[in-house]
């Protein structure tokens, strides 16, 4: 491509500005977290005496151990089941093309842009009737339903690209439907599954509305839900709040950096989810 | 010949697998039905009643909807949501286009690769954390005011999220920050798919950078722009986390948005019917805004 030197330079400058705008808030959060508790530091200033202990204080004040345990329980309840159900449905819609697969696909597409606020009220009463209010099931079960439109559409897109001849060949070799699915198609779907799994993991970690509606006790919520409660309790202690926020967002960044390759593709393709 | 046998064989096989295939969809369909489709129907039903969530519900027809349209306290959140579209959607998409177009030429360099990773960071952190982060940046002693003072605009310094005129744009700024990176990277990826011959042809025809942008880049990005608009508009209309954390809808309802109002009406004021009507209105709004965008892109492709 023909690019003049001036354009290339301008591009570099813009990129650096964009990166700075992205990173500076994180830096501000970090240096503020190092100031003495209860103070209101001016903008970004490196503290004279960095209070690394603030992170330990935040771990204790937010009961970080319990939070982490709770979130992981919710993740374990949501992610594997969502992956399994979506893969099965995607397989039936995209590869088997069962009778009515178009109608079913449209039905799932309908839910793709649904704002959670639209259904949170009946969900609350439904979960209350089930006697699950205040338990982690109150977050896990609705999320499984709410993730289905995106997850099924995502997996269907994968299975629609796998040649049908593969299934035919396996059938000729005597594979049953379940074997065909489990032995042939699931291993091939691994990249699609990995991306979806990472997205579902992050969305669950970051889920806020359901967490604060369904569960009063912050130590039984998702990380984001617990952070909301933490802000309510320690909102005036800015350094402590910053330290707590950093601790809760750091794992999401870690997951992102480790699984970057799958992630960028997933986020771009998965961007249709609201 | 091979084609013939295959097409003749397939329907029989399909029939045999029909019921078994449905079993594969069943779990997903069950969860989707119970936790999404049924609740949508129930939201519609609740929206026609006056109900406090505990006692008897009284059928009131479309009264709740009429109240939304006539009560300032209920209508203004919807208007705010539309104002937020400017910040959540227009700013990231337009700015994203400008930035992506400028860095297009160096998209393969190492700097661009690093930037691609970095600008995604706001996308992966909880919106709650973004809200807390920016509440601090925009506070009276925060970085934004510090920068203003540093460049001699100290008289502009204020508590951005706390004042009537600036609170909503300040909330919008947080959304723009979260979404800008996503749009930029998405658009950059789209630009990478445009045939470079088109650019060369445009240059040979004597097109300047501006003409080139409108003649080659913009038409080539229809799909990506549609995705950006869809995602960001939905984020604006259904915003909740950022507002709940940074302003709680204040000052004096200046940043109240539908998501927040639904939450307060349903779970603290116990006006379940009214909250449900607002929830219906929100869902309809999202569909009304998203469908035309999808339609325009589909039509453009044909």
Contacts of B231 in chain A (CB under 8 A): 271-274
User: B136 and A263: CB-CB below 8 Å?
Assistant: no
Phi, psi (rounded to 5 degrees) for B50: -100, 110
% of chain A at pLDDT higher than 90: 67
According to CATH, the topology of domain A64-225+252-273 is MetI-like fold (1.10.3720)
User: A228 and B238: CB-CB below 8 Å?
Assistant: no
Search chain A and give the residue with CA nearest B30: A145
- Smallest Cα distance from A231 to chain B, Å: 8
The confidence score (pLDDT) of residue B5 equals 44
pLDDT in tens, A21-75: 999 999 999 999 999 988 888 888 888 889 999 999 999 999 999 999 999 999 9
DSSP string, B219-241: HHTHHHHHHHHHHHHHHHHT--H
Average pLDDT for chain B:
89
- Smallest Cα distance from B190 to chain A, Å: 10
**For residues B151 and B172, what is the distance between their CA atoms, to the nearest angstrom?**
23
User: A88 and B25: CB-CB below 8 Å?
Assistant: yes
Contacts of B137 in chain A (CB under 8 A): 25, 28
User: A18 and B199: CB-CB below 8 Å?
Assistant: no
Search chain B and give the residue with CA nearest A176: B17
Asked if residue B209 lies in contact with residue B280, where contact means CB atoms within 8 angstroms, the answer is no
Best of B17, B25, B135, B245 to mutate (most A CBs within 10 Å, chain A): B25
Average pLDDT for chain A:
90
Return left, alpha or beta for B73; rule: phi > 0 is left, psi -120 to 50 is alpha, else beta: alpha
The confidence score (pLDDT) of residue B25 equals 95
The confidence score (pLDDT) of residue B264 equals 96
Please state the pTM of the whole predicted model. 0.91
pLDDT surpassing 80 at residue A1: no
- Smallest Cα distance from A42 to chain B, Å: 5
pLDDT surpassing 60 at residue B87: yes
Contacts of B105 (CB under 8 A, 6+ apart): A1, A3, A7, A8, A11
**For residues A149 and A147, what is the distance between their CA atoms, to the nearest angstrom?**
6
B13 confidence band (pLDDT: 50, 70, 90): low
Contacts of A99 in chain B (CB under 8 A): 14, 18, 21
Contacts of B37 in chain A (CB under 8 A): 111
Query: What are the residue ranges spanned by the domains of chain A?
Result: 64-225+252-273
Contacts of B202 in chain A (CB under 8 A): none
Contacts of B21 in chain A (CB under 8 A): 92, 96, 98-99, 177
- Smallest Cα distance from B189 to chain A, Å: 9
A67 touches chain B (CB under 8 A): no
Search chain B and give the residue with CA nearest A5: B105
Tally Cβ neighbours within 10 Å of residue B47. Answer: 25
pLDDT surpassing 60 at residue B11: no
What are the helix (H) ranges across A34-119?
53-61, 64-91, 101-110
The confidence score (pLDDT) of residue B4 equals 42
Best of A10, A15, A247 to mutate (most B CBs within 10 Å, chain B): A15
The confidence score (pLDDT) of residue B10 equals 52
- Smallest Cα distance from A208 to chain B, Å: 7
B3 confidence band (pLDDT: 50, 70, 90): very low
Contacts of A9 (CB under 8 A, 6+ apart): none
* Range in A119-123, A218-222, B164-168, B203-207 with the lowest mean pLDDT: B203-207
Phi, psi (rounded to 5 degrees) for B59: -70, 130
Q: Determine the average pLDDT of the residues in B169-198.
A: 91
Between A6 and B202, the higher pLDDT residue: B202
A271 confidence band (pLDDT: 50, 70, 90): low
User: A98 and B25: CB-CB below 8 Å?
Assistant: yes
Contacts of A26 in chain B (CB under 8 A): 121, 133
Query: Three-state DSSP class for B58?
Result: strand
């Amino acid at each position: 491509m023909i690019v003049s030197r001036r354009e290339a330079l301008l591009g570099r400058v813009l990129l650096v500005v964009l990166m700075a705008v992205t990173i500076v808030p994180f830096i501000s959060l970090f240096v503020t977290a190092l100031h003495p508790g209860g103070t209101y530091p001016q903008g970004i200033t490196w503290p004279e005496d960095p209070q690394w202990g603030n992170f330990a204080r935040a771990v204790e004040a937010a009961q970080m151990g319990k939070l982490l345990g709770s979130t992981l329980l919710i993740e374990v309840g949501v992610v594997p089941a969502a992956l399994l159900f979506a893969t099965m449905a995607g397989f039936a819609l995209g590869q088997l093309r069962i009778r009515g697969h178009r109608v079913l696909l449209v039905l799932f597409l309908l839910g793709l842009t649904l704002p959670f606020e639209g259904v949170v009220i009946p969900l609350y009463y439904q979960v209350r009737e089930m006697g699950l209010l205040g338990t982690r099931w109150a977050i896990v079960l609705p999320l499984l339903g709410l993730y289905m439109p995106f997850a099924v559409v995502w997996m269907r897109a994968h299975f629609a690209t796998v040649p049908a001849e593969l299934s035919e060949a396996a059938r000729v070799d005597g594979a049953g439907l379940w074997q065909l699915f489990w032995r042939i198609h699931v291993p091939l779907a691994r990249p699609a599954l990995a991306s979806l799994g990472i997205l579902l993991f992050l969305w669950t970690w970051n889920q806020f509305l359901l967490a604060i509606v369904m569960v009063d006790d912050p130590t039984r919520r998702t990380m984001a839900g617990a952070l909301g409660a933490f802000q309510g309790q320690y909102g005036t202690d800015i350094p402590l709040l910053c330290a707590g926020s950093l601790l809760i967002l750091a794992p999401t960044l870690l997951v992102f950096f480790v699984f970057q390759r799958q992630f960028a593709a997933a986020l771009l393709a998965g961007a249709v989810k609201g | 010949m091979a084609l013939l046998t295959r097409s003749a064989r397939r329907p029989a096989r399909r029939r045999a697998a029909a019921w078994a295939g449905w079993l594969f969809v069943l779990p997903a369909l069950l969860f989707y039905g119970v936790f999404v489709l049924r609740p949508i129907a129930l939201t519609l039903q609740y929206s026609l009643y006056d109900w406090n969530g505990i006692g008897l519900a009284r059928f009131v027809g479309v009264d709740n909807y009429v109240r939304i349209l006539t009560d300032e306290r209920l209508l203004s959140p919807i208007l705010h949501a539309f104002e937020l579209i400017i910040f959540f959607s227009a700013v990231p998409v337009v700015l994203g286009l400008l930035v992506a177009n400028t860095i297009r030429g160096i998209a393969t360099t190492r700097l661009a690769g690093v930037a691609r990773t970095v600008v995604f960071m706001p996308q992966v952190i909880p919106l709650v954390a973004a809200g807390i982060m920016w509440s601090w940046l925009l506070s009276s002693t925060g970085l934004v005011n510090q920068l203003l003072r540093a460049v001699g605009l100290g008289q502009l310094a204020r508590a951005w999220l706390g004042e009537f005129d600036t609170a909503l744009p300040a909330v919008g700024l947080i959304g723009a920050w979260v979404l800008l990176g996503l749009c930029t990277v998405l658009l950059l990826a789209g630009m990478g798919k445009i045939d470079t011959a088109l650019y060369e042809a445009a240059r040979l025809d004597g097109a300047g950078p501006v003409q080139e942008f409108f003649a080659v880049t913009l038409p080539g990005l229809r799909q990506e722009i549609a995705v950006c608009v869809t995602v960001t508009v939905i984020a604006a209309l259904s915003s909740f986390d950022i507002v709940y954390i940074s302003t709680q809808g204040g000052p004096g309802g200046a940043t109240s948005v539908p998501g927040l109002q639904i939450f307060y009406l349903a779970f603290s004021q116990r006006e379940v019917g009214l909250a449900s009507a607002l929830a219906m209105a929100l869902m309809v709004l999202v569909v009304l805004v998203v469908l035309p965008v999808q339609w325009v892109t589909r039509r453009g492709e044909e």
